[in-house]
């Protein structure tokens, strides 16, 4: 079922001046490449062709913006940790990501997508530290939960919670079975609407 039936691709950005107008509210998804970020976005957007946009050659290094309706957006941040990418390009991503996260007034929440089999890892912590200075909620999505048995899943979730303490909320998710889809949808909606009673930063 489409979770956001009005969703449409908005634009891609390689430089901050290409970001869409900084009004309204948006929730950004970040994760190491291959973590399952596109599959999660796909499940949320409910339209395979949309989230696949971010996967087309040339777009994986960009920040991709999707409109959910009037002034609401989901943002697909570039996957980090591509071993094969030249160093200069990795540096550009890092800078673009930092600029985006630190300067974006409409950013209302960050979803860190990570493979549940690895759990919350060093590269995820670096990202958390990057946004840790901002007053936006962070939610960790432990994806590919279908690859774990029940006991393993419970342990992974418990371990991630212990590591994160109060800095982020955590959930298990599977794009294959749809487990956790309602929870991530609810979380994203809460983040998007937290602006309504709040002054801009």
Site of interaction with ligand GDP (CB under 6 A): 31, 33-39, 79, 143-144, 146-147, 174-176
Q: Which is nearer to ligand GDP, 125 or 194 (CB)?
A: 125
Report which of 195, 192, 190, 180 is spatially closest to residue 44, judged by C-alpha positions: 180
Q: Least distance (Å) from ligand GDP to the CB of residue 156?
A: 13
Contacts of 8 (CB under 8 A, 6+ apart): 50, 66, 67
Q: Least distance (Å) from ligand GDP to the CB of residue 120?
A: 15
Strand partners, 19: none
Q: Which is nearer to ligand GDP, 23 or 147 (CB)?
A: 147
- Structure token digits, residue 111: 């979803």
Q: Least distance (Å) from ligand GDP to the CB of residue 144?
A: 4
Q: Which is nearer to ligand GDP, 106 or 143 (CB)?
A: 143
Report which of 81, 44, 74 is spatially closest to residue 60, judged by C-alpha positions: 81
Q: Which is nearer to ligand GDP, 25 or 41 (CB)?
A: 41
Q: Which is nearer to ligand GDP, 35 or 74 (CB)?
A: 35
Q: Which is nearer to ligand GDP, 56 or 103 (CB)?
A: 56
Q: Least distance (Å) from ligand GDP to the CB of residue 79?
A: 5
Q: Least distance (Å) from ligand GDP to the CB of residue 189?
A: 21
How buried is residue 159: exposed, middle or buried, by Cβ count under 10 Å (0-12/13-18/19+)?
A: middle
Q: Least distance (Å) from ligand GDP to the CB of residue 46?
A: 15
Q: How many CA atoms within 13 Å lie on the side-chain side of 77?
A: 29
Contacts of 76 (CB under 8 A, 6+ apart): 28, 29, 37, 38, 41, 51, 54, 63, 64, 65, 66
């Amino acid at each position: 079922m489409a979770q956001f039936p009005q969703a449409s691709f908005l634009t891609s950005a390689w430089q901050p001046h290409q970001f869409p107008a900084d009004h309204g509210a948006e929730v950004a998804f970040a994760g190491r490449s291959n973590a399952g970020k596109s599959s999660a976005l796909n499940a949320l957007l409910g339209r395979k062709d949309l989230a696949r946009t971010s996967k087309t050659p040339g777009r994986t290094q960009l920040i991709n913006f999707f409109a959910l309706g009037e002034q609401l957006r989901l943002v697909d941040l570039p996957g980090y940790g591509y071993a094969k990418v030249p160093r200069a390009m990795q540096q550009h991503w890092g800078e673009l990501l930092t600029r985006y996260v630190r300067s974006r007034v409409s950013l209302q929440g960050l979803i860190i997508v990570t493979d549940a089999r690895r759990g919350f890892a060093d590269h995820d912590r670096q990202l958390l530290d990057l946004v840790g200075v901002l007053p936006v909620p962070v939610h960790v999505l432990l994806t590919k939960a279908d690859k774990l048995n029940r006991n393993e899943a419970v342990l992974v979730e418990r371990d991630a919670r212990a590591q994160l303490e109060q800095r982020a909320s955590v959930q298990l998710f599977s794009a294959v079975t749809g487990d956790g889809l309602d929870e991530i949808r609810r979380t994203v909606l809460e983040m998007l609407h937290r602006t309504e009673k709040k002054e801009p930063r």
